[in-house]
Amino acid sequence: MKQIFLTATTPPPSVISLQAKPSSLQTNLDGIKAWSILLQSTPLPTIDLTLADNDETIHTGTLTAVDCQRGVIHVRDFKAPIGKYSAALIRLNDVNQLDVNASSACFDLLLQHALQSDTTTAPPSTPTSPSLPPTSSSSSPLPSSTSTSTSPTPTKDTKSFARDAEVRKYWSQRYHLFSLFDAIQTDREGLFSATPECVAQHVARRVNGVSNKVVWDAFAGVGGNCCHFKSFEKIIATDLNENRLEMCRNNCRVYGIKHVEFMVGNFLELCGSIRANVVVLSPPWGGPKYLDVHDETALQLENIISVPCDGVKLFQLGHKATQPKGIIVYMLPKNVNKDSVLALGEAFEGTMEIEDMFVNGVLKMTVAYFQKD
């Protein structure tokens, strides 16, 4: 081992939760219709907003009402470069971007209102959920990325997410996971396991420049990582779940990633035949339950990672699948015992670095980079 670095990195924040940011506020009000439901609540929640007009001038204030029919919002304590106003009426035609930052309690209120509406007679402003294709554990191969395939059809079922407290937490963070979430496909596990977009982009920049630029996302899931390796010549995306990999195919298409080879299969078998310059290991952490693990022995790498094998063996297999001078990117739970991760570097021929990844000041995960000699 040559060097070990232990650093903390705060990637640039992704899109904040509960935002109203449709592609065109002039023609599409769907992104803010949900707020009209939320603002009917009593007592009225405090919702701070920041908006930019078509000249990119920043304004701030407190949102008090949304009038979707007239295309306006009502704001109090409005602060603009030209002055301050106790109340203001703003036309959405004059707004270029509208970001709303609300507490989780506000989000719960929004869900309660959504649940009170019958889905068969719900008004257009009722918020909808992400796509929920059925899941499968099939291990048959998928066609290559050049062939045509029909993606799973998205469904809209707010209640299935709102009734599950664990899912609701991740659903409220959906724009952290994918800034283009409204077009992507996911399932329940996809919400749990997707890497936050700003973290995935940071990792992609870190490993950019490796010779030949072939990257293997070994546990691709719904594509939280491989959607952001745009600069690489080839991406290999593998997962044990065929339906989830089809969602990954759709999501890569949404992000404009075309040079992807998709394969369904078990990592323990695939690592014997696939070689790449960068191997991304983002194994299952066991869902949100990993946060309840506090025993120091259980938090060691060989114990906190158990699928498809223990964490040390997984690294060793990833090492064999990595080309000389290549990089192994190991994405780990934020509470992993770092001493057990550093122990891998003692016998590693190359350079190792560990980063703690923060999103909006909150620690999300630990990422270890191992670059081979």
**What pLDDT score does 161 carry?**
57
**What pLDDT score does 255 carry?**
96
Residue 280 above 90 pLDDT? yes
45 contacts 109 by C-beta, under 8 angstroms: yes
Mean pLDDT of 315-328: 96
CATH number of 30-101: 2.30.30.100
**What pLDDT score does 59 carry?**
76
Mean pLDDT, the chain, whole residue set: 74
293 pLDDT band, cuts 50/70/90, is confident
Per-residue pLDDT of 335-349, as tens digits, reads: 999 999 999 988 888
**What pLDDT score does 19 carry?**
33
133 pLDDT band, cuts 50/70/90, is very low
How far does CA 324 lie from the centroid of its chain? 30
Burial category of 233 from C-beta neighbours within 10 Å (exposed 0-12, middle 13-18, buried 19 and up): exposed
**What pLDDT score does 338 carry?**
93
CA distance 161 to 333: 24
72 contacts 91 by C-beta, under 8 angstroms: yes
352 pLDDT band, cuts 50/70/90, is very high
Residue 261 above 50 pLDDT? yes
Per-residue pLDDT of 148-186, as tens digits, reads: 334 444 433 445 655 566 677 777 788 889 999 888 898
Determine which of 70-79, 271-280, 306-315 has the lowest per-residue pLDDT on average: 70-79
Nearest to 228 by CA among 245, 203, 210, 246: 203
**What pLDDT score does 330 carry?**
98
**What pLDDT score does 129 carry?**
31
CA distance 47 to 100: 7
Residues above pLDDT 70, as percent of the chain = 64
**What pLDDT score does 97 carry?**
61
251 pLDDT band, cuts 50/70/90, is very high
* CB within 8 Å of 172: residues ≥ 6 apart: 17, 18, 104, 107
**What pLDDT score does 237 carry?**
98
Question: 69 versus 320: which is more confidently predicted?
Answer: 320
**What pLDDT score does 55 carry?**
61
Amino acid at 40: Q
Per-residue pLDDT of 66-109, as tens digits, reads: 666 666 777 888 887 777 888 887 776 666 666 655 554 555 55
Residue 54 above 50 pLDDT? yes
Please give the span between the terminal C-alpha atoms of the chain, in angstroms, as a whole number: 9
**What pLDDT score does 288 carry?**
75
Domain boundaries, the chain: 3-12+135-372, 30-101
Nearest to 270 by CA among 134, 142, 133, 136: 142
CA distance 296 to 61: 46
Question: 43 versus 238: which is more confidently predicted?
Answer: 238
Determine which of 37-46, 53-62, 109-118 has the lowest per-residue pLDDT on average: 109-118
Residue 246 above 70 pLDDT? yes
**What pLDDT score does 67 carry?**
67
Determine which of 184-193, 244-253, 255-264, 364-373 has the lowest per-residue pLDDT on average: 184-193
Output the six-digit token pair for 98.
Answer: 């509208």
Residue 58 above 90 pLDDT? no
Mean pLDDT of 104-115: 49
Q: CA geometry: angle at 191 spanning 158 and 6, to 5°?
A: 150
Tell me the fold of 3-12+135-372.
Answer: Rossmann fold (3.40.50)
130 contacts 181 by C-beta, under 8 angstroms: yes
3-state secondary structure the chain: CCEEEEEEECCCCCCCCCCECCCCCCCCCHHHHHHHHHCCCCCCCCEEEEEEECCCCEEEEEEEEEECCCCEEEEEEEEECCEEEEEEEEEHHHEEEEEEECCHHHHHHHHHHHHHCCCCCCCCCCCCCCECCCCCCCCCCCCCCCCCCCCCCCCCCHHHHHCCHHHHHHHCCHHHHCCCHHHCECCHHHHHHCCCHHHHHHHHHHHCCCHHHEEEECCCCCCCCHHHCCCCCEEEEEECCHHHHHHHHHHHHHCCCCCEEEEECCHHHHCCCCCEEEEEECCCCCHHHHHHCCCCCCCCHHHHCCCCCCHHHHHHHHHHCEEEEEEEEEEEECCCCHHHHHHHHHCCCEEEEEEEEEECCEEEEEEEEEEEC
Strand 3-9 and strand 47-53: pairing?
Answer: unpaired
* CB within 8 Å of 362: residues ≥ 6 apart: none
Residue 309 above 70 pLDDT? yes
